Homo-oligomer: A and B are copies of this chain.
Amino acid sequence: MNYILKDENAVYHECGFSCESEIFLKFGSESYFLTDARYLTEAKEFIKNAEVVLMDRRDPFKVARALIRKSGIKSLVYNPLEWSVNEFESLNSKLLMNFKQHINFSQKKRIIKSEDELQILRKAAKLGANAFDSFAKFIQKEGLGLSEKRAFHEAQNIFKNFGELELSFEPIVALDENAAKPHALPSDKILQKDMLLLLDAGVKYKRYCSDRTRTVNISKNISMDKNSIFKDAKKQKIYDTVLRAQEASIKKAKVGVGASDIDKAGREVIEKAGYGKYFIHSTGHGVGLDIHELPVIGARSHDVIEENMVFTIEPGIYLPNEFGVRIEDTVIAKSNGVEVIG
């Protein structure tokens, strides 16, 4: 397959380097990494398996067009999600080329992780889990009376380890009814004893993402090990239901199982408890260089689990204007089950 890539993570996966200005070309066994003068020296230093070529920032696709023409290839695969209409027209202008669309073909190539990638993902998960514990300590000590906004800010600091790590995504820090909104922005709501707190956060280690969610009761004794104890009986009931759902999905997950069956196993637990209509999203998603990769763990997914796929299992119940609960771990698929990495 001959292809062209522009997405940073897709390019990084091909050649171990990326920057904010680049095009990657693959014609059979030939690989080219195109970048502008700002990044040329670094690219030449770090890229081993592709020829580094200078591009013109004023017409970033000019050199790519010339290389494509010179190669004599007849067709080229691209991801139509990666290119704006404007960029693609600029690439395509004056080229007599059969461009083939292949949505997310880089993510498809990356769906099974190598041993090296698994080691990095385990380390990312460990660093993420440590930050959950640090955040719990912070809330226990200094959390009461802070605003959700301020707690969000501290979560950023803690997950960034004061500048040493990058975030996989902006953390979600949500109290009670805000936890019922999957996309709540942090508010001025004040953290008080026995409120429910949902924390969804992750870090990047060597560019690979961690992803985890915990829902806890605010108290002097917050545990991030999923044994949350709530003062309110309804919260406890919902929490226990979500936890049983997550356990059912985790138990179901192994090599050869359909991703939709993993979703079904947890969803049935929630449906039987009478909360099916409040589980408003899929069970999980692949994790790697991108925070959302393949496979899709959902009711309509046709993905079948293979060894060393890495994905989240994160059922939730969201009761509007009351509260929401989500419990999420990232797992590695193995023949006899999954390895929960955090």
Contacts and interface: CB of A to CB of B under 8 A. Distances in A.
Interface of A: 20, 38, 80-86, 88-89, 101, 103, 147, 149-150, 152-154, 157, 160, 162-164, 181-183, 186
B84 A83 contact: yes
A164 B149 contact: yes
A183 B83 contact: no
19 contacts: A38-B181, A38-B182, A80-B84, A80-B85, A81-B84, A81-B85, A81-B86, A82-B84, A84-B85, A85-B85, A85-B88, A86-B101, A86-B103, A147-B163, A149-B164, A150-B163, A152-B163, A153-B160, A154-B163
A81 B88 CA distance: 10
B80 A89 contact: yes
A154 B86 CA distance: 38
9 nearest CB pairs, A to B? A153-B163, A80-B86, A80-B85, A149-B163, A81-B86, A85-B88, A150-B163, A83-B85, A81-B84
Contacts of A80: 84-86, 89
Per assembly, the copies of the chain total 2
Contacts of A150: 162-163
A141 B20 CA distance: 35
A85 B91 CA distance: 12
A164 B146 CA distance: 13
Contact of A153 (B81, B162, B181, B182): B162
A201 to B, nearest CB: 15
Nearest to A186: B163
Contacts of A85: 80-81, 83-85, 88, 101
Interface centre among A84, A154, A164, by most chain B C-beta atoms within 10 angstroms, is A84
Given A38-B181, A149-B163, A153-B160, 13 more contacts: A38-B183, A80-B84, A80-B85, A80-B89, A81-B84, A81-B86, A82-B84, A85-B85, A147-B163, A149-B164, A153-B162, A153-B163, A163-B186
Contacts of A88: 85
A133 B190 CA distance: 29
A115 to B, nearest CB: 28
Nearest to A151: B163
| Residue of A20, A89, A153, A186 with highest tally of chain B CB at under 10 A | A153
Contacts of A83: 84-85
Contacts of A86: 80-81, 101, 103
Nearest to A146: B163
Contacts of A81: 84-86
Nearest to A83: B85
A80 B147 CA distance: 41
A189 B13 CA distance: 28
Contacts of A89: 80
A152 B83 CA distance: 32
A20, A81, A86: residue with the most chain B Cβ atoms closer than 10 Å: A86
Nearest to A161: B153
A183 B182 CA distance: 35
Nearest to A150: B163
Contacts of A183: 20, 38
Contacts of A103: 86
